[in-house]
Every structure is written in structure tokens, then in C-alpha cells.
Structure 1
Amino acid sequence: MRIIVLGAGVIGVTTAWYLAKRGHQVTVIDRQPGPALETSFANAGEISPGYSAPWAAPGVPMKAIKWMFQRHAPLVLHPTMNPDRIRWMLEMLANCTSPAYARNKSRMVRLAEYSRDCLTELRADTGVRFDERQQGTLQVFRTEKQVAAAEKDIAVLQADGVPFEVLDRAGCIAAEPGLAGAAHRIAGGLRLPGDETGDCFKFTNALADKAEAAGVVFRYGVTINAIRAEAGRVTGVDTSEGLMTADSYVLALGSLSPLLAKSLGVRLPVEPLKGYSITVPITDYDRAPVSTVMDETFKVAITRLGDRIRVGGLAEIAGFDTSLNPRRRATLEKSLTEMFGGAGDLQAASFWTGLRPMTPDGTPIVGATPIANLWTNTGHGTLGWTMAAGSGRLLADLIDGRAPEIDPEGLSVARYGRTPSRKAQAGGLRPAAA
């Protein structure tokens, strides 16, 4: 079968890899000159199945109000009159209940744990290298209130059989010796020994090379203008290089996916969640992190990537704005300095921002759509790197008509009850350029 994958980020490339392994003829289209040059470029570097959790959680609405008045807030909401964004925010608020949180986290952990296993197998099969480490994630709590709040996450981890360790201050420092200088800031921690780290950009480029050798055709520098449909089926993709056709199509454009799906009558409730990172060269390896440390107060991940430290996180709901905000850099630097002071050269750090595609319930949208030959692999939020391999393999199984290795329940757009409009079924599609 001929399949077009829209998007050459980590999600699109892993999807293309697994589809090619199934024997399909795959073409990947992306507007950038190479793979992983947008959201996948400089993310936090953590592969954290156990830490997979929705941002929509009990208590978040009150926290969001407090964060509005904090200089180093982990979440910033910019005022908007955009009806789609307002609707998305209301849906997110509706998911800030204990039952919804437990349901959504369980779905996310299910996919993320599977993805970790798929990545292990993929790494062994291909030999790709990406500054990878398999030394766990440590979530550091600065207050006793944060320690107590972790109980709801621990309950889900226990229910899903995910290994974890509850640590006191000494245990945190034993796991991450570089935290010794921050001992007075630590109230406790939650360690997930099954988590990993790695450079998403390096991985995606290495896998793209493998995929190309396996027959995948990459069309870089090609703008996607519209998806054309007729009688409930996609008939082609209108691009800057003309109409491109296939038997099936995969929408893996991250935050841009809803722009194309909307004119098909399919609403993908995905909002761009702006995140930031700094990449810092290590100057003192004894003070540097061993793996990933999550600073719960600022929602920041501090990750060892070879001879660099990647500090990533934060969130702004600000549409498609990609300007670099120096206040966000200050927060990242503050977290690194307070946790691992003296470990790296902040003067030599690079500063980056990217748009993470977030759903209101935190769970990605992977699977079939009401359009017969259109599939989605998007909406992974801050966990695209964590869930990439599993999402790609799951979708390849679904497209191939195979029984997937995990239950796909609750992962497709069907959970939102969306159906295509009559206009979409009749064709005539022209969404905004992507």
C-alpha cells in the first residue's frame, strides 16, 4: 500500500519506519529542510513512561490562578478571544477531576510503557545512537505538600505495575550525587528506574537515515497547503510541488494537524503548548545530573545528554508564537542553578522554544478518523519523545489490519465523539497552510 506521512518530526519518522518495515511504500512530506527541526529539535531529552501524566489534574485550576502572579510560573495563560482555544481550555478544565485524571494517566502510561519496550527493541535492531542512557528519572519535591500530592500518581503507577521508588532527601542524593549542594531544597523524591534519556534530534535523524535505506522517500522543503477529499475519502495532498496521492494518509504534524483536519470536518482538539529549553555544556561532571531530574516546583526537566545538560519545560498557551521570552530562560537557569549549581557554563548555553501539541485530556490522538483512509498520530504534548516508538508501531499495526500489542481503547479521536461534516464528505478542502 502507498502511504503518505505528513510530518518529519519524531512521530512522523517513527511511523514511517514501522510502516516501511510492514512492506508499505512510504513517502514523508515536511516543510523543513530535514527531520526533527521543529518540536523534536531540542526537547527536554527525557523518555519517561512512568512520569507520563496529563497537565489537567485536580488542583491545577487554583494553581493556574496563583501562577498568574509568579515570575517563574510553570504555566502561563495568555489572554485570548480565539473560540477554539477557549473551548480547548474549558475541556481541559473539565478533565481536572480525580476520575478523569486517573483515566487519562492510565491511558498515557499504557502507551508510554509500550513505547519504552518498542524503543528498546528498535535500538537493538537498528543500532541507532543518540546519547542514550537507561538510568531512570528522579522527580524532586521541594515541599512536603508536593510529596503528599504524589500519592495520586503512585496509585496509578501501582495499578499499572510500573516500578517506582519513594525516596527521602538522602535517597535522592544517593541516586543523583550532583544534588548534594541542593540538599536543603529537597523534601523527597519519586524515582522511576525504568525511564531513559536521549537526544530526540539525534535519534530522529539516525532513524530517518535507516528509514530512507529501507525505501522511505522523504520530501523535504515541501509546503502542505490542503488535504483534498471526496465521498468520505482523502484523494490527495495539495502541496507546493503539486498534488501528491496515496492509498492512505497519516497526519503527524503536531500542533499544525488541526488546521488540516478542520476542513475535513474532523476536529482535533490540539493546542500548541509553547515550551522552552536551554542546552548547557558541562564544566563539572561531578556536579552534573546522572540522568533526568524533574524539578516539580517549576515543572522543569534537567537531563544529561552526553557532555551537555538539557534543561527543558514550562508551558505557555500563546497560539503559534515562537518568540524567545527571556523570562522563561531565567526560570530554566534558576532551576539548574538551584539543583546543580556549577555543573555547566550558562554563558555558553543555547536557548530554544518549540510548540508541543497538547490535547485537553493529555492523551495523544492515535488511530483512525471518520475519514476512511486518514489516520492521526498527534497530540502527544510534552511526551512525543517518550511515546514516539509505541505510537508509530501501534498505528502501523492498525493501518495494516493487525491486532495491536496493546489495547488502543481511548487513544483515537473517537473518544471525543467527532464525526465528519457533510461538506467534508463532499470534498472541497482548503485549510490554512501548514
Structure 2
Amino acid sequence: MQVTVLGAGIVGLAAAWELSLRGHAVTVIDRAAPGHGASGGNGAQLSYSYVQPLADPSIWAQLPKLLLSRTSPLKLRPQLDPQQWRWGLEFLGACNAETSRSTTEQLLALAMRSRAGFESMMATLQPDCDFSATGKLVIYRSQAALDGAARQVELQSELGSAPQRIVSPDECIVIEPALVTVRNEIAGAVYTESECAADCLKLCIALVDALQARGVHFILGETIDGFALRGDSISAVTTSRGAVDGDAFVLSLGSASNALAQRLGVRLPVYPLKGYSITLAVDETPGAAPTVSVTDSAHKVVFARLGQRLRVAGMAELVGADASIPAARIESLVASTRAVFPNCSDFAELNPWTGMRPATPTGLPIVGHLPGAPRNLLFNTGHGALGFTLSFGSAGRIADALDEFGPSPALPEPGRGRETKG
């Protein structure tokens, strides 16, 4: 079957990888270079076991700060945008215990599958992506917050997650000596020994090389304009330079997916959550920079070691598709880093980045068919801050959905799935 994947971020590339493994002929289209959307400078953590969704009952108590505080790591800035208001209301509607539990269960199942797919890819490809499996600490600065985390750990244990445990401040220092500076500021942490980290952009580049070697065709630097329909199916996707046909299409364009789906009369509850990161060269002195991944839950900042670099990422802003990088947001990440790991770097180069995480109100990605959409269109978007973590699980589900079409037909004639002149 000829499958055209729209999007060359980690979610689209993982889908292309899985589809190619299953014998499909694959074309990937994107207007940007692979991995240069929300994937490029993400938090780098592969969080397979601690997947608590942002839509949680605790949001209600935080709402005044989210709306009014200039320093809040989560920002809701109302605009004259009906999509933003609708998404925001649906998000608040999802902030209840029942929805949070259901979302957690589904995210854990998808994450478990994703781990298996990722590990299989790593064994086959062995990419240079600064992969590490040193575990993760999620630190909490109050006993109340730690108690809430303990309840989440208990829930996830019931749902079959990898082993996790609550650790004391002293145990935190044993696990990650670089946390000694904040020993007296934390109540404890959730420790997951099996969690991992990797440079998502490096992996995207390695995947492209491997996919091209497998015969996957890439059309990059092209704007996707819309679709050509034949009956209840898509016959081709139209681009700035022509049409690209296919037997099936996978929409993996992140936060840009909604605008394209609307041209088919399909509404996706996906809105960008803007995040930021910096990447620092680390001081190699033992105990200066962390080797274990760390999440500072109070400040919503994550720290992931990538070889001789430290990725620091955080914040979630519901501010539309604004790609600017305000100096204040980068300064906030620097301040957060200095506060937790004051000796980790000389902070000479920050490499600031921003990306638009494609989020659904519940936190569950949209993977597969949707009612009212063309029958040969599969959606693969809305992964929020867990795109890297969930990408290979989603890829498996996309490939399963295509298998439901029946046995793959003979490969198309030369030129099928390639760019044609309009």
C-alpha cells in the first residue's frame, strides 16, 4: 500500500518507520526540515511510567494564578480566538478525577507499547542520539504535593506501570548528588529507575537517513495546501508544487493538523501549548550537573542529560501560534536551572528554543480514524508534551489501523506517491 505521511516530526517519522517495516511504500511530506517543529528542542525525557495528564482536578485551585500571574509556568491568555476558548472550556471540563484516571490508564497503555517499539527501533538502528537510561526523579517541594504524587503512583501501579517509589530528600541526593543544593527545599520525590532520555532531533535525523535507505521518499520544503477527493476517500494531497497521491494518508502535522482537517469538515480538538527550552554545555565535575533526569514539579521544569549537554525545558502557554521567544521566558529557565543546579554550567551559550506542543483537552492523542473523515485518512496528532514518549506506540496503532484495510495491494506503479506537477 502507498501511504503518504504528512509531517516529519518524531510522530510522523515513527509512523513512517513502522509502516515501512510492515512493507508499505511510504512518502513523507513536510514544509520544514525533519524534527524542526515541536520535536527539535523538546524536554528529551522518555516518560513511559509517569504520565499524569495536565487536565487534573488540581487545576481548579490553580486557575486564578494561571490567568493572572506573570510568573506562572502555565499561562492561559484569553484571545479573540474561538478555537482557544472552546479548547480551554473543554480542558476545564476534563479536569475531574474520573477523566484524569481514564486518561492516565490509556496513556500508560500507549506508553508501554511505545517503549517496546522504541526499544526495537534502537536495537535495529543504533542511532547516535545521546540516549541514556539513568532513571528520573520528579521532585516535590511540599508534603501536600508529594502526597498527591503518591496517590498518582498508587494509581499507576494498579494500572500496570513500571515500578516507582516515593523517596526522601536524602535518598534523592544518593540517586542524584547534584540535587544537594535543594536538599532542604524538597519534601521528596517520585523515582522511576526505568525512565530514559534522548535527543529527539538527533533521532529524527537518524530516522530520516535510515528511512531513505529503506526507500522511503521525502518531499520537504513544500506547503501542504489541501486534498483531492474521490468519493469518500482522498486521492491525493495538494502541495505548493503539485499533487502527491496515495492509497492512505496519515495526518501528523502537530498543532497545524487542525487547520488542514478543517478543510475536510473535520474538527480536531488540538491547540498549541507553547513551550521553551535551553541547552547548556555541562561542567564535567562529578556532582555539578545531573546525570539522572529531573522534573521540578513546582516550577514545571524538566532537566535531561544529553551527553555533554543539559536540556532544560518547561512552561505551557495557551497563547496561540506565537513563535517568538521572549527574553523573560529564557531568563526564567536560566534562573530555575541556577536554583537547582548552580554549578552545572557556565551558562555561556543557552541555545534558546520554542515549540508548539499539539495538545488535546484531555491529554489523549488522536490516533486512527475519525467519524466523518475520509475513510483512508488516519489521524496521528495531539500528543502534547508526550509526543516523543508516545510516538512509537502511536505508530503501531496507525499501522494496525491500515492492516484493517486488508492485505496490502501490489506496490503502485512508478511515480505513485511521488510529486507530480499540478
Q: Which consecutive residues of structure 1, in runs of 5 or more, have no partner in the other structure? A: 404-434
Equivalences for 1:288-367 in 2 at 5 Å? 288-367=289-368
TM-score by length of 2: 0.93
> What residue is the counterpart of 2:73 in the other structure?
74
SS of 1:349's equivalent in the other structure is coil
CA deviations 1:46-70 (Å, max 9, x no partner) are 0001121211101203213123443
SS of structure 1 residue aligned to 2:324: coil
TM-score, normalising length from structure 1?
Answer: 0.90
Write the letter of the residue equivalent to 1:120.
E
For residues 59-208 of structure 1, what are the structure 2 equivalents within 5 Å? 59-162=58-161, 163-208=163-208
Q: Secondary structure at the match of 1:150?
A: helix
Partner of 1:277: 277
Alpha-carbon contact 2:273-2:317 (below 8 Å) kept: yes
Structure 1 residue 347, shift from structure 2 partner: 2.7
Q: Distance in 2 between matches of 1:109 and 1:215?
A: 33
Q: Deviations over 1:406-430 (max 9, x none)?
A: xxxxxxxxxxxxxxxxxxxxxxxxx
1:395 to 376, 395, 398: 398
CA contact (8 A) 1:281 1:308 kept: yes
**C-alpha separation between the residues in 1 aligned to 2:2 and 2:266?**
23
Mapped contact 2:136–2:293 kept (Cα < 8 A): yes
Count of residue pairs the alignment pairs up: 402
Q: Distance in 1 between matches of 2:344 and 2:276?
A: 20
Q: Does 1:4 align with 2:4?
A: yes
Matched with 2:224 is: 224
Pairwise CA distance, 1:103: 0.4
Letter of the 1:296 counterpart: S
Q: Deviations over 1:277-308 (max 9, x none)?
A: 00011124421111210000111101101000
In structure 2, do the counterparts of structure 1 residues 402 and 300 end up closer, same or farther at CA, with 3 Å as the change threshold? farther
Q: Secondary structure at the match of 2:50?
A: coil
Tell me which residue corresponds to 1:18.
Answer: 18
Deviation at residue 351 of structure 1 after TM alignment: 0.6
Letter in 1 for 2:391: A
Which ranges in structure 2 are unaligned for 5 or more consecutive residues? 407-422
Aligned equivalent of 2:375 = 372
Offset from partner CA, 1:193-222 (integer Å, 9 cap, x none): 221000000011101111111110011111
Q: Distance in 1 between matches of 2:156 and 2:109?
A: 10
| Letter paired with 1:384 | G
CA distance in 2, matches of 1:267, 1:345: 47
Distance in structure 1 (CA, Å) of the matches to 2:175 and 2:404: 44
Q: Distance in 1 between matches of 2:130 and 2:385?
A: 20
Q: CA shift at 1:402, angstroms?
A: 9.0
CA contact (8 A) 1:6 1:250 kept: yes
| Distance of 1:377 and 1:135 partners within structure 2 | 29
C-alpha contact 1:53 1:109 (8 A) present in aligned 2: no
- 8 Å Cα contact 2:199-2:306 kept in structure 1: yes
Residue 383 (1) aligns with residue 386 (2)? yes
Distance 1:285 1:354, change over 3 A: farther
Q: In the alignment, is the contact (CA less than 8 A) between 1:129 and 1:203 conserved in 2?
A: yes
Partner SS state of residue 304, structure 1: strand
CA distance in 1, matches of 2:290, 2:404: 43
Q: Partners in 2 of 1:70 and 1:175 — Cα distance?
A: 34
For the residue of structure 2 that corresponds to 1:344, the secondary structure is: coil
Q: Is the 8 A contact 1:278 1:312 kept in 2?
A: yes
Give the Cα separation in 1 of the matches to 2:67 and 2:268: 28
1:72·1:298 contact (CA, 8 Å) conserved in 2? no
Q: Answer whether contact 1:272 1:357 (CA < 8 A) is retained.
A: yes
Q: Kindly state the Cα deviation for residue 231 of structure 1 after the two structures are TM-superposed.
A: 2.4
Deviations 1:119-172 (A, max 9, x none): 111101121221000111110011112111213311321112221011010111
Equivalent AA in structure 1 for residue 291 of structure 2: V
Deviations 1:368-400 (A, max 9, x none): 123200001110000101111111122112212
2:248 aligns to what? 248
Find the aligned partners of 1:145 and 1:340 in 2 and give their Cα distance. Answer: 24
Q: Which amino acid aligns with 1:183?
A: R
On the 8 A contact 1:294/1:301 being kept in 2, the answer is: yes
Q: Is the 2:150–2:166 contact (alpha carbons within 8 Å) kept by the matching residues of 1?
A: no
Cα distance, 1:71 vs. partner?
3.9
* 1:33-92 deviation digits (Å, cap 9, x = unpaired): x21011111101100011212111012032131234434311111121211211111111
1:4–1:218 CA distance, 2 compared to 1 (3 A): same
- Detail structure 1 runs of 4+ shifted over 6 Å in the superposition: none
